[in-house]
Structure 1
Amino acid sequence: MNLPLEAFSVSTGIVALAEIGDKTQLLAFMLAARFRKPWPIIAGILVATIANHAFAGAVGTWVTTVLGPDVLRWVLGLSFIAMAVWMMIPDKLDEDEITVPKFGVFATTVVAFFLAEMGDKTQIATVALAAQYGTFVAVVTGTTLGMMIANVPAVLAGNGIAKRLPIRLIHGVAASIFAVLGVAALIGIGLD
């Protein structure tokens, strides 16, 4: 498989799965309920995600220039396995964590999403995927698409859709993918 296509596909799928029930998806539900203006919220999520994941992708790509291949293999393998464990810990978002500045719906969404993504599972996953695949554009495009796949329906359909999703099962699938990526990295598959 072509490396950029693989990087794009894996990045899209794993982030879309990881985002289900994540703090930022809960934020999308809350913003949709509070503002009831889906298009500025969706645009804000897109802008915040591109900025956040571009930064994360740049860090991941930079890491590959600093760490030797053996150290990188262990760091990535253990990072992906840690992500698998982290996926099984449910996220919570307190409504008082969202302050509504007087910037409007779009700007509020950009700021809230950018800050909520800092150090979040999907941002850390973007760093690791960019380091794993070494292809910035494919990974950032994929992780951004994955975020939008998970969050656009959340904004459009609201909280009702979340109550019907088997979130534990979805997180289990995402955790399994992270674990497979971790084991593959540790044994040296796909790092050439």
Structure 2
Amino acid sequence: MEALLISTGIVALAEIGDKTQLLSLFLAARFKRPLPIIFGIFFATLVNHALAGAVGAWLSARLGPDVMRWILGVSFVAMAVWMLIPDKLDEDDAKRAAPRFGIFGATLIAFFLAEMGDKTQFATVALAARFDSLAAVVVGTTLGMMIANVPAVLLGDAAAKRLPVRLVHAVAALIFACLGIAALWGTVPAVLTGQ
């Protein structure tokens, strides 16, 4: 249960102001049909995070606990720094895919591509390496993405302008930094180890 809750919370916070949330706003403004966009986000995220989680679980199984502790610690600290760098939206992928694949297909393709190499994908790899429950991590990170992106699709630009994005990013960065420092010091509380 801890893996699910931590994965959900971290990704929901990390996603605020992220390029995929900006992509959600763009798609909602362009197509004005929320359901195919929401389903596209869900399936793209589920596939992307399942693959990322599988990589994290594979790494965890192949590397010893000391090596993983250092990799996770450095990864979480790097994600903390990355959280403080604003994302920019590349609308070209969605524009090219829309006429050919429809709203659902355009969203699916654009989100899957936007998540490649994104901080939430790296967070999924790290969380899956950290916890023994791949399914809980994938469900949690997918749920976190939906918590952050569905309101962006439904409420659009008005809601996004009211969020204190810098504050949310700072809180997420602090959480990532604390997780990284705790992992590096080997003092990760039992709730974070999944044991």
Q: What residue ranges of structure 1 are gaps of 5+ in the alignment?
A: none
Percent of pairs identical after alignment? 69
Q: How does 1:47-126 map to 2 (within 5 A)?
A: 47-98=43-94, 99=96, 100-126=98-124
Aligned residues: 188
User: Cα distance, 1:51 vs. partner?
Assistant: 0.2
User: Cα distance, 1:135 vs. partner?
Assistant: 1.2
Structure 2: how far apart are the matches of 1:45 and 1:101? 18
Q: Name the residue aligned to 2:8.
A: 12
- What amino acid is the match of 1:40? P
Structure 1: how far apart are the matches of 2:90 and 2:148? 20
User: Cα distance, 1:168 vs. partner?
Assistant: 0.3
- What amino acid is the match of 2:79? M
Q: Name the residue aligned to 1:37.
A: 33
User: Cα distance, 1:133 vs. partner?
Assistant: 1.0
Q: Which moved more, 1:61-70 or 1:88-97?
A: 88-97
Q: Name the residue aligned to 2:157.
A: 159
Instruction: Provide the secondary structure at the position in 2 that maps to 1:91.
Output: coil
- What amino acid is the match of 2:126? A
* 8 A Cα contact 2:124 2:141, kept in partner: yes
- What amino acid is the match of 1:25? Q
User: Cα distance, 1:63 vs. partner?
Assistant: 0.4
Structure 2: how far apart are the matches of 1:182 and 1:171? 16
Map Cα deviations across residues 45-93 of structure 1 (whole Å, 9 max, x no partner): 0000000000000000000111111111000000000000000000011
- What amino acid is the match of 2:121? Q
* 8 A Cα contact 2:93 2:110, kept in partner: no
Structure 2: how far apart are the matches of 1:56 and 1:66? 15
Return the TM-score normalized by structure 2. 0.93
User: Cα distance, 1:103 vs. partner?
Assistant: 1.1
Q: Name the residue aligned to 1:146.
A: 144
Instruction: Provide the secondary structure at the position in 1 that maps to 2:100.
Output: coil
Q: Name the residue aligned to 2:42.
A: 46
Map Cα deviations across residues 154-185 of structure 1 (whole Å, 9 max, x no partner): 00000111111000000000001101110111
* 8 A Cα contact 2:74 2:180, kept in partner: yes
Q: What is the RMSD of the two structures over their aligned residues, measured on CA atoms? A: 1.1
